[in-house]
Amino acid sequence: MRRIYIALITIITAATGATAQEKQAAQLSLQNCIDYAMVHGASAKNTQLDILIQQAQNNQTLALAMPKVSAKAEFDDFIRPQSSFLNAKIFGGPDAITAVALSVPYAASVGVSASQIIFDGSVLVALQARKMSLQLAEQNSKTVKDNIKYNISKAYYVLAVAYKQREILAKSLVTGRSMLHELDVTYQNGLVEKIDLERSSVQINNLQNDSATLENGIKLYEYSLKFQMGMDINAPIFLTDTSMEQHTTTSAALLLEGDNYERVPEYQILNTVKTLNEYNVRRYKLAALPSLVAFGAYGTNYGSDKFNDMFKFKKYESNSTAGLQLNIPIFSGFQRVNQVREAKLNVEKTNNNIENLKLNIDFMASQARGSLKNSLLQLQSQKRNLELADDVVDLAQKKYKAGVGSNLEVTSAQSEQLKALNSYISTLLNIINAEVDLKKALGLL
């Protein structure tokens, strides 16, 4: 008895746990998915890090124009001091070369030095380009985020359509099984032929196979959406934006939206790259100008042949220096000339990329508009076909129940209804995909 009691508790606990897990399924709208990806997705996190990296690089550039200060302390123990060779005749000795060690065995020095760039053309241009470099990082970040929105929108609605198809198949199975039961009862009474019963069974089997295939597809679609979001693929989710009819109104309004290259992130990036390449041209040109640096140093030093004397700091002698250093480039083996040439060619190359991008934007926008118009037109006929298919099914069922119609007529009508419904939903998905493509081409994501 005790074992039975424990088993019952285990079953109840497991069932409660399963129910709790189902309740914990995340309720996700499309915007929820996008917001989640912006926080947890690797691409979104990395693009924010890229902005911080660029800010750090800008601070490094700013450091080039700041004063440089350094300190140095040194102690030398000349175990065997280097000798200098002198002619002894200078000191009144014989005409002979004599090796003389001029340095003392111990020496120490402490000093501080500083320098400040007063003028350097390359540094000046680098300081001016900092803002554009940060702007480029921010524009790249926007492009990455737009791509995240684009990919999640596509994955979200593919999954939403799969959910709709699952609902349709489930309803069809319920209706088909109910009819199969009625046919079976009628067949047992000898009022219908066996072929009618078997035909209905084949339809049920086909619907079950389609349902199983769709369930596997739904799992893959869910994995794809979670991957785009940066979410654990085993986390349960539930989509809330499954009504797609509302997109027909927004899509029709989007067709009236005009083109504007300035809204497209890729176009903004290329213009910023062009500006940075122009800064490079200026930087290499200004490298031909002299640079001026101010410097100064202060220190003390002392030397002795006794180690203990090195700690008698009153004997240390101070020294200081200050000055200006003018560096004048004269000839660099044509390196600077070729650097300027390379920078100009990069500007020209960027101009070509900008023109090519304009053509690509025009093409993508035209293609998306065409697809959207065609899908909107098809939707009207698909909706009408669905209404007609519903009427045919309703009429076939009424005739069958009245005894003036056949099971084959009902089965055929239901099959056509299922096709019409799937075509209608597929057209809605085409509208949404074309809308997302057009928004991307127009820079409106």
Average pLDDT over residues 58-77: 92
Tokens of 244: 């797609």
Per the structure, the complete domain to which residue 376 belongs is given by 24-66+120-289+329-442
Q: Is residue 321 part of a domain?
A: no
How far is Cα 245 from Cα 425, in angstroms, rounded to an integer? 9
Instruction: Give the model confidence (pLDDT) of 216-264 as tens digits.
Output: 999 999 999 999 999 998 999 888 888 777 777 888 888 888 888 999 9
What pLDDT was estimated at residue 187?
Answer: 65
Domain assignment present for 8: no
Residue 108 lies in a domain: no
pLDDT confidence band for 21 (50 / 70 / 90): very low
Question: What's the average model confidence in pLDDT over 110-114?
Answer: 95
The gap between the terminal CA atoms of the chain, to the nearest Å, is: 65
How many other C-beta atoms lie within 10 A of the C-beta of residue 260?
12
3-class DSSP assignment, residue 197 = helix
d(CA 200, CA 387): 24
With b meaning 16 or more CB within 10 Å and e meaning fewer, what string describes 87-121? eeeeeeeeeeeeeeeeeebbbbbbbeeeeebeebb
Q: For residue 16, is pLDDT > 90?
A: no
43 found inside a domain: yes
Please report which helix (H) or strand (E) contains residue 263, including its range: none
State mean pLDDT over 31-40. 93
Residue 3 is predicted with a pLDDT of 42
For the chain, what percentages of helix, strand and coil (3-state, to nearest 5) are there?
Answer: 70, 15, 15
Neighbours of 350 (CB within 10 A): 19
Place of tokens 């044509």: 334
CATH code for position 43:
1.20.1600.10
Q: Is residue 109 assigned to a domain? A: no
Confidence class of residue 307 from pLDDT cuts 50, 70 and 90? confident
Question: Concatenated DSSP letters for 405-428?
Answer: S-HHHHHHHHHHHHHHHHHHHHHH
| Neighbouring C-beta atoms of residue 191, cutoff 10 Å | 11
Residue 28 predicted with pLDDT over 60: yes
What integer best gives the mean pLDDT of the chain?
85
- Identify whether the C-beta of residue 293 lies closer than 8 Å to the C-beta of residue 111: no
Going by pLDDT thresholds of 50, 70 and 90, the confidence category of residue 17 is: very low
Cβ-based neighbours of 126, under 8 Å, separated by 6 or more: 61, 64, 283
pLDDT at 192: 63
Q: Is residue 355 part of a domain?
A: yes
**Which has more pLDDT, 29 or 400?**
29
Query: Which pLDDT belongs to residue 93?
Result: 67
Q: Which residues contact 286 (CB under 8 A, 6 or more apart)?
A: 121, 122, 124, 125
Q: How many domains, in total, are found in the chain?
A: 1
Amino acid at 29: S
Q: Are 226 and 219 in contact (CB under 8 A)?
A: no
- H or E segment and range at residue 48: helix 42-63
Closest CA relative to residue 163, chosen from 103, 215, 95, 87: 215
Helix, strand, or coil (residue 8): helix
Tens of pLDDT along 70-84?
A: 999 999 888 888 888
- pLDDT tens digit string along 265-295? 999 999 999 999 999 999 999 988 999 999 9
Instruction: Report d(CA 244, CA 304) in Å as an integer.
Output: 92
Q: What is the mean pLDDT of residues 149-163?
A: 91
SS3 call for 92: coil
Residue 294 maps to a domain: no
Instruction: Name which of 294-308, 388-402, 419-433 the model is least confident about.
Output: 388-402
Q: Is residue 155 part of a domain?
A: yes
Report the alpha-carbon distance of residue 15 to residue 17 in Å, rounded: 5
pLDDT at 22 over 70: no
The C-alpha R_g of the chain, in whole angstroms, comes to 41
Q: How much is the pLDDT for 69?
A: 95
Distance between CA atoms of residues 425 and 162, nearest Å: 10
Tens digit of pLDDT for each residue in 415-425? 888 888 888 88
